[in-house]
């Protein structure tokens, strides 16, 4: 696509996707212990699954009315959820917003809302983004760090704060990128999956302006990933496209009820941010005391560097600790925060008796 192409990165009308259908994922993820438990000689006790960035201290689930389970989700429930999300994220009233069964569902659809484009993705980051855009036929460029120029870019996508290193881009830079891209019909896509713990980096106050798409995850910060709930903020025509593509009842009745209630619970959110920040600082201190270098992360996960991450991860599995490693970064390993800190340190110390960092 060239800059004088009159269709550059224009969103599809609400009645259709631009082309194709989403392809299945082949990207490896954390959070699944079934294979580890079934392996010969596997740890036989309770596992510490630290392989995700999901809050291990979930928002307390309420008793739900029976109708949430027995009736089809209603328009009033969806309206209440979207209103709660607007308030919690600071989304302008005129911005488009759509809920989905997890932001992954939106990530799968996003590439099909655009004509074939030159997309730059700031990495290393969540691998599903590059995968789905490539599968949809776009020209994908993965950039390590921050691009020096946006001249040859139609769509710029970044996770902010980033997964797995916690890199956070400031608002002035994001505003500058958005202004440059939108001035020529381009788009800035922000995946703010972890912005609940760092609201100061969010661009939600500008949601709905041309050339800007924002994704917000519910399950990570609220610790309810199994609920499957996420949001897309964008110009109304684009969110309308996603709503049509999802079809009716995309979000379950229990997700409508729980999502709305949790998003309104500002006191819990403020207290949890403080708790997670304290625990992440304590985690870093404990790692430093054991000679393990922490590169960064967010208050929901920490990224460490060791000489042989795969070997260390294997040794940790021997003590029932599951962490995330990265094929393209063989010295990186990501730790979620443990619920039982004392038990985590006890097991880690047993590993370190035999494993040489």
> pLDDT band at residue 55, thresholds of 50, 70 and 90?
very high
User: What tokens were used for 229?
Assistant: 């709930």
Per-residue model confidence as pLDDT tens digits over 174-215: 999 999 999 999 999 999 999 999 999 999 999 999 999 999
Q: What is the pTM of this model?
A: 0.92
Going by C-alpha positions, the residue among 195, 200, 201, 211 that lies closest to residue 150 is: 211
Map residue 19 onto helix, strand or coil: coil
Q: What is the C-alpha to C-alpha distance for residues 93 and 88, in angstroms, rounded to an integer?
A: 13
Q: How far apart (Å, rounded) are the C-alpha atoms in residues 269 and 263?
A: 8
Asked if residue 265 lies in contact with residue 272, where contact means CB atoms within 8 angstroms, the answer is no
Phi and psi at residue 301, to the nearest 5°? -155, 160
Q: Is the pLDDT of residue 1 over 50?
A: no
Element spanning 208, H or E: none
- Closest residue by Cα to residue 290 from 257, 248, 335, 328: 335
- The pLDDT value recorded for residue 22 is 60
Give the C-alpha separation, 134 to 22, whole Å.
11
**Over the stretch 78-111, which tens digit does the pLDDT of each residue have?**
999 999 999 999 999 999 999 999 999 999 999 9
Token match 């700031």: residue? 122
> Could you tell me the pLDDT band of residue 35, with boundaries at 50, 70 and 90?
confident
Is the predicted pLDDT of residue 31 greater than 90, yes or no?
no
- The tens digit of pLDDT for each residue in 105-153 reads 999 999 999 999 999 999 999 999 999 999 999 999 999 988 989 999 9
Q: Residue 356 is encoded by which pair of tokens?
A: 């040489």
Hey, is 99 helix, strand or coil? Answer: strand
Contact 135, 23 (CB under 8 A): yes
Q: pLDDT per residue over 2-29, tens digit each?
A: 333 333 444 444 445 655 556 565 566 7
Q: What percent of the chain has pLDDT over 90?
A: 86
pLDDT of 316 strictly over 50:
yes
First to last CA, the chain: 48
CA–CA gap between residue 55 and residue 298 (Å, rounded):
11
Residue of 251, 242, 8 whose CA lies nearest to 107: 242
- What b/e readout covers 155-192, taking b as 16+ CB neighbours within 10 angstroms? bbbbbbbbbbbbbebeeeebeebbebbbeebbbbbbbb
Cis amide prior to 124 (ω within 30 degrees): yes
CA dist 155 and 152 (Å) reads: 9
Residue 302: DSSP 8-state: E
Give the E-state strand segments of 161-244 in sequence order.
187-191, 212-217, 230-234
Q: State the CB neighbour count (10 A cutoff) for residue 3.
A: 11
Q: Percentage of residues in the chain with pLDDT exceeding 70?
A: 91
């Amino acid at each position: 696509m060239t800059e004088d192409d009159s269709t550059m990165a224009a969103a599809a009308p609400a009645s259709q996707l631009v082309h194709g259908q989403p392809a299945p994922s082949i990207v490896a993820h954390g959070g699944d212990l079934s294979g580890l438990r079934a392996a010969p000689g596997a740890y036989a006790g309770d596992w510490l699954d630290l392989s995700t960035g999901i809050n291990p201290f979930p928002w307390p689930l309420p008793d739900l009315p029976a109708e949430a389970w027995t009736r089809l989700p209603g328009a009033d429930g969806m309206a209440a959820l979207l209103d709660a999300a607007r308030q919690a994220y600071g989304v302008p009233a005129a911005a488009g917003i759509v809920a989905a069964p997890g932001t992954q569902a939106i990530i799968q659809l996003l590439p099909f809302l655009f004509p074939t484009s030159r997309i730059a993705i700031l990495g290393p980051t969540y691998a599903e983004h590059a995968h789905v855009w490539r599968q949809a036929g776009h020209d994908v460029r993965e950039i390590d760090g921050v691009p020096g120029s946006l001249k040859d870019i139609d769509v710029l996508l970044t996770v902010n704060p980033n997964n797995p290193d916690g890199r956070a881009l400031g608002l002035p830079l994001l505003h500058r990128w958005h202004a440059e891209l939108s001035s020529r019909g381009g788009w800035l896509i922000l995946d703010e999956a972890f912005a609940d713990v760092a609201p100061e980096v969010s661009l939600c106050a500008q949601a709905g302006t041309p050339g800007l798409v924002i994704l917000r995850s519910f399950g990570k910060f609220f610790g309810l990933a199994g609920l499957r709930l996420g949001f897309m903020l964008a110009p109304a025509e684009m969110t309308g496209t996603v709503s049509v593509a999802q079809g009716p009842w995309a979000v379950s009745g229990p997700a409508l009820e729980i999502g709305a209630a949790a998003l309104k619970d500002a006191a819990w959110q403020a207290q949890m941010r403080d708790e997670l920040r304290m625990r992440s600082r304590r985690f870093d201190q404990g790692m430093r005391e054991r000679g393990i270098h922490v590169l960064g992360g967010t208050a929901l996960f920490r990224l460490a560097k060791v000489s042989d991450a795969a070997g260390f991860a294997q040794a940790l599995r021997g003590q029932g600790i599951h962490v995330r490693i990265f094929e393209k970064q063989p010295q990186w390993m990501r730790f979620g925060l443990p619920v039982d800190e004392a038990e985590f340190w006890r097991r880690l110390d047993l590993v370190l008796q035999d494993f040489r960092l």
